[in-house]
Structure formats: structure tokens, C-alpha cells
Amino acid sequence: MPLVRITLAAGRPAAFRRALADGVHQALVDTAKVPPDDRFHVVQEVSPENLIWDAQYMRTGRSATER
């Protein structure tokens, strides 16, 4: 069973979190041949100031605290 951990800045609606997890799972099913009923995802929300990365990492030019 693959374990998927998704960490997001807090504040996204439940429907967004579910859609994101659904998309990740479908990608695993399609590309890694994971069985469709073999799913274990953890979606964790953290305060934006606790997501720290280089501003150029995703080429957005903004950090989480600037969003």
C-alpha cells in the first residue's frame, strides 16, 4: 500500500483537498499500476509561515507567507 502525504498551507476548502488527493491517486493508478482500491493518503494543513522554501523553487517568485 503506497502512503501519500500531502502538505498544504491552511485554508483550502475540503473539496480542493479531496480533488487534489483524487488526482494524485489517479496518477498512481495510471502510472504505477496501484490497484484503485489501494489508497492511504494523509492531507495535512499547516500555517503558511511553517512552509518555508526557496522562492525560486516553483518559479513563482513568492514564498508561502507572501500569498
**Structural domains in the chain?**
3-66 (3.30.429.10)
pLDDT at 1 over 80: no
Look at residue 45 in the predicted model and tell me its pLDDT.
96
11-54, pLDDT tens digit by residue? 999 999 999 999 999 999 999 999 999 999 999 999 989 988 77
8-31 b/e (C-beta count within 10 Å ≥ 16 → b): beeeeeeeebeeebeebbeebeee
pLDDT band at 56 (very low <50, low <70, confident <90, very high): confident
Q: How far apart (Å, rounded) are the C-alpha atoms in residues 12 and 53?
A: 19
Look at residue 66 in the predicted model and tell me its pLDDT.
58
